[in-house]
Structure formats: structure tokens, C-alpha cells
Amino acid sequence: ARVVNGEDAIPYSWPWQISLQYEKDGEFRHTCGGTLIAPNWVMTAAHCISKSRTYQVVVGEYDMDAEEGSEQRIPVNSNDIFVHPKWISICAACGNDIALMKLSRAAELSNTVQLGCLPPAGEVLPNDYPCYISGWGRLYTNGPLPSKLQQAILPVVDNQHCNQKDWWGGVIRQNMICAGGDIRAGCNGDSGGPLNCKAADGRWEVHGIASFVSALGCNALKKPTVFTRLFCRCPRNNNNNNNFLFIPRPSGWAS
């Protein structure tokens, strides 16, 4: 997913946003976004991960064309990448599009590098709740990648509305969240990045991981960007017979 019809973010206003980069021809290239949830843990989308690639995470990034002094480039060992066990690579619409990456060293927290907060368990935002997508994804379908971090306001579309026949038509599951659907959307390169929503107490919380958009294009009408829904303080076993996303929480998971 990418940010379509967005704007340059204020520098470091989303300090938990990371750039996931893979090595090709001796250099690292941006492929997806993600969220720093503990000094040594990053959360991204499962579909961003390929076993054949070598990855690094960049925190403290804003303008990829400039060396700003705040960047920390941290390698990720292949054995420290954990994809959700129920993720099906040929079926993004099946859900569970989440992966955790343990960094080879802890990020140094600062004014430009902070941890993302996850929402309380069971919290479901109402229809039209204002949230923001952020990322370095393409500016439009098949368009260029921006150098500066982009943001766009994406109002939440509740699942009942999002599943209407002329919208996503029953594709959206309980462990997903829709946002946008007008002229603003996510696009290629934003995948794995956060859906940032402001809580009543003024804190920003990450309610979703950018997962997929319509095959019709990144800003297709009535096809909101779809995110993996997130909750914190997840139990180690899902014994309450619902379909929300519950995954084992590794040591160091932000709460």
C-alpha cells in the first residue's frame, strides 16, 4: 500500500514509523513500512517478508534523499523474523498479515525515535473515526516513491459498511479494519506501516498494519485500504471463540 493524495508529514511526527529495507545489488532499498513496538522489536506485514532477502530496519528516518543524522540502520537476522503461523502468502484477504522482527540491537530512543502504542484489547473504533496512514509508498498507482515521509487522513469505515456488496463485498473479516475509500489511500511501499489513531486521552495508538488495497488501484472508490487489526495485552491462547487477532507475545512486546 502507498499514501495517495497525502502530504509531507511534519518531520519525526510519527517517530515509531520505520522503513523496512532489503539488500539488492549491494544497496538497501525501501520495500515496506513498520512500527517500532519495543526498542528491539518491529511489527510489519507478513506479505512484506521473503525468506530469500536480507533486511535492515531504519528508524529515525524522514527524508530518504538526505542524511539527517537521526537515522539508525539496524540489521535483522533471518532467524529473528516471525511470520504469523496462520498467514497464507497467496491469500492476503484471509487475514493474519502480520510479522514480528527482532532487531540485532536495540534502537536508541530519542525525540525522533519512539515506541508505538497499541490500543486496549477489544477496542473497535466507530465509523468515520479520523486516523492517519503514514509511509514512503508510491504517490499513485505505478507512480514514484517520495523521498519524504507522507501522511494522509483516513477515516475508519466500520466492517458492516466496508462489507457492503458495492464496497469489499464480504471480504473484510473481524481481524481487519478498513480506512479511507475516497481519494486518499495507501499504496505500494506503505504496506506494513501503521494506522495511527488518536485516543481520547490524547495519545496516538497504532490500530492497524497496512495490508492490501484493491486490484483496481490504490485509491479505487469504495475500496478502502485494509489493515490488520491490532490489540495489545493479547492472551497467549485464543480461548474466547472470536476471530480477533491474538498472537503469542514475544518477550519485549510493547504493552
Buried b (16+ CB within 10 A) or exposed e, 164-178: eeebbeebbbebbbb
CA 33, CA 18: separation in Å to the nearest integer? 6
Sequence-ordered strand ranges (E) for 103-184: 130-135, 150-157, 176-179
Half-sphere exposure of 211 (CA within 13 A, CB side): 31
Number of domains forming the structure of the chain: 1
In a domain, 70, yes or no: no
- Distance from the first to the final alpha carbon of the chain: 26
pTM of this prediction? Answer: 0.86
Instruction: Confirm whether 191 is a catalytic residue.
Output: yes
Of these residues, 191, 207, 211, 214, which one is catalytic? 191
Mark whether 97 is an active-site residue.
yes
Among 97, 134, 190, 211, the active-site one is 97
Note whether residue 127 is domain-resident. yes
Kindly give the confidence (pLDDT) of every residue in the chain, 255 residues in length, as a single tens digit, with 9 standing for 90 and above.
446 677 899 999 999 999 999 999 999 999 999 999 999 999 999 999 998 999 999 999 999 999 999 999 999 999 999 999 999 998 988 999 999 999 999 999 999 999 999 998 889 999 999 999 999 987 766 677 889 999 999 999 999 999 999 999 999 999 999 998 765 556 666 899 999 999 999 999 999 999 998 877 666 788 899 999 997 544 333 343 333 333 444 444 333
Q: Which domain holds residue 210?
A: 116-229
Whether 44 maps to a domain, the answer reads no
Q: Confirm whether 222 is domain-assigned.
A: yes
Answer whether residue 109 is part of any domain: no
Residues in the chain: 255
In a domain, 183, yes or no: yes
Residue 145 forms part of a structural domain: yes
- CA-closest candidate to residue 181, choices 165, 157, 210, 212: 157
Q: Is residue 56 part of a domain?
A: no
* Catalytic residue (one of 47, 134, 190, 207): 47
Q: b/e map of 210-219 (b: 16 or more CB within 10 Å)?
A: bbbbbeeebb
Which CATH number do you get for residue 197? 2.40.10.10
